[in-house]
C-alpha cells in the first residue's frame, strides 16, 4: 500500500510517522526505540499479534490490564498504564485525511492516549485506513466494534455475525465513548506507526 498521502496528512497535523512493510519490522523498531521505560498498553489485537507485551517486558516495566501481575486486578493496572512514560495503542479508524478515530467501553484507552505521557505510539495496520473522516468513523462503528464485541463474546446484537452496528442499548454495549483526534494533542509526542499488513480489527 502507498502510505504517502496519509503520511503527509498526519505530518501536517503534527505527528511523527514511520512506515513498515511488515509487523515484524515494526515490532523490532518499537523494541529498539522503547527501553528502560514504564509502558502502558490498552487492549489491542494489533499489539497482541505483534507480541509487543512480551518483547517490551524484557527490558521495560509494561502495564497491560489483560496481563495483570500476581495479586493484581485489571483495575489496579489502569491507573499505572495511564501514568506510564510511554503508551501504546492501535486505532479503530484512520482517515487518509489524517483524523484518528477510537471507540471505547472502559475508556481507559481513549483517555490514556490523550494526555500524560512522554510519547504515545499508535500502531496501525493497513486495514484501519479509510478515505476520509466519515468513512473512518463508519469503519470504527461498523467493522471494528462489532468484531471486538464478537471476540469478547458480548451479549450484543452485533456480536452474532459481526456484520454491522445496531446502535444497541445493551448492558454489554462496548461502544460507550468516541475519541477523534483532529490534530496531534499538544502535551506529548506522538508517533503513528503504519504497517503494510492487516492487523487487528
Ligand atoms: S453500539 Fe452495540 S451493536 Fe453497535 S457495535 Fe457497539 S456493541 Fe455492537
Q: What is the pLDDT of residue 194?
A: 98
Cell of 102: 477510537
User: Is the distance from the beta carbon of residue 149 to the nearest atom of ligand 1 less than 6 Å?
Assistant: yes
Residues comprising the chain, all counted: 201
User: Is the distance from the beta carbon of residue 138 to the nearest atom of ligand 1 less than 6 Å?
Assistant: no
User: Can you tell me the mean pLDDT for 41-51?
Assistant: 95
Q: What is the pLDDT of residue 1?
A: 83
Q: Is the pLDDT of residue 162 over 90?
A: yes
Residue pair 108/81 in contact (Cβ under 8 Å)? The answer is yes
Q: Are strands 189-195 and 119-125 parallel, antiparallel or unpaired?
A: parallel
CA of 154 to the centre of ligand 1 (A): 10
Kindly list the strands in the beta sheet with 177-181, ordered across the sheet, starting from the edge strand earlier in the chain. 129-130, 93-95, 100-104, 177-181
Q: What is the pLDDT of residue 11?
A: 98
Q: What is the pLDDT of residues 65-82, one digit of tens each?
A: 999 888 999 999 999 999
**95 conformational bin, left if phi > 0, alpha if psi -120 to 50, beta if neither:** beta
Mean pLDDT of the chain: 97
Q: Is the pLDDT of residue 93 over 90?
A: yes
CA of 105 to the centre of ligand 1 (A): 10
- Residue 119: DSSP 8-state: E
Residue with CA at minimum distance from ligand 1 atom 5:
165
* pLDDT band per the 50, 70, 90 thresholds, residue 83: very high
User: Can you tell me the mean pLDDT for 15-32?
Assistant: 98
Q: What is the pLDDT of residues 145-160, one digit of tens each?
A: 999 999 999 999 999 9
* pLDDT band per the 50, 70, 90 thresholds, residue 24: very high
CA of 145 to the centre of ligand 1 (A): 6
**Helix (H) or strand (E) segment spanning residue 10:** helix 4-12
CA of 44 to the centre of ligand 1 (A): 18
- Residue 143: DSSP 8-state: I
Q: Is the pLDDT of residue 43 over 90?
A: no
Share of the chain above pLDDT 70, in %: 100
Atom of ligand 1 nearest to the CA of 166: 3
Amino acid at each position: 500500500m502507498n502510505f504517502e498521502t496519509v503520511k503527509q496528512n498526519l505530518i501536517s497535523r503534527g505527528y511523527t510517522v514511520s512506515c513498515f512493510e511488515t509487523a515484524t519490522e515494526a515490532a523490532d523498531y518499537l523494541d529498539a526505540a522503547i527501553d528502560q521505560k514504564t509502558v502502558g498498553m490498552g487492549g489491542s489485537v494489533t499489539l497482541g499479534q505483534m507480541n509487543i507485551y512480551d518483547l517490551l517486558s524484557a527490558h521495560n516495566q509494561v502495564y497491560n490490564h489483560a496481563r495483570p501481575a500476581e495479586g493484581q486486578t485489571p483495575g489496579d493496572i489502569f491507573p499505572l498504564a495511564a501514568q506510564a512514560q510511554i503508551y501504546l495503542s492501535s486505532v479503530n479508524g484512520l482517515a487518509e485525511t489524517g483524523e484518528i478515530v477510537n471507540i471505547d467501553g472502559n475508556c481507559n484507552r481513549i483517555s490514556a492516549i490523550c494526555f500524560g505521557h512522554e510519547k504515545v505510539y499508535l500502531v496501525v495496520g493497513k486495514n484501519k485506513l479509510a478515505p476520509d473522516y466519515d468513512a473512518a468513523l463508519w469503519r470504527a462503528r461498523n467493522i471494528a466494534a462489532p468484531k471486538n464485541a464478537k471476540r469478547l463474546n458480548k451479549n450484543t446484537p452485533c456480536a452474532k455475525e459481526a456484520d454491522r452496528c445496531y446502535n444497541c442499548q445493551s448492558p454489554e454495549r462496548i461502544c460507550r465513548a468516541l475519541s477523534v483526534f483532529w490534530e496531534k494533542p499538544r502535551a506529548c509526542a506522538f508517533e503513528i506507526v503504519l504497517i503494510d499488513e492487516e492487523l487487528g480489527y
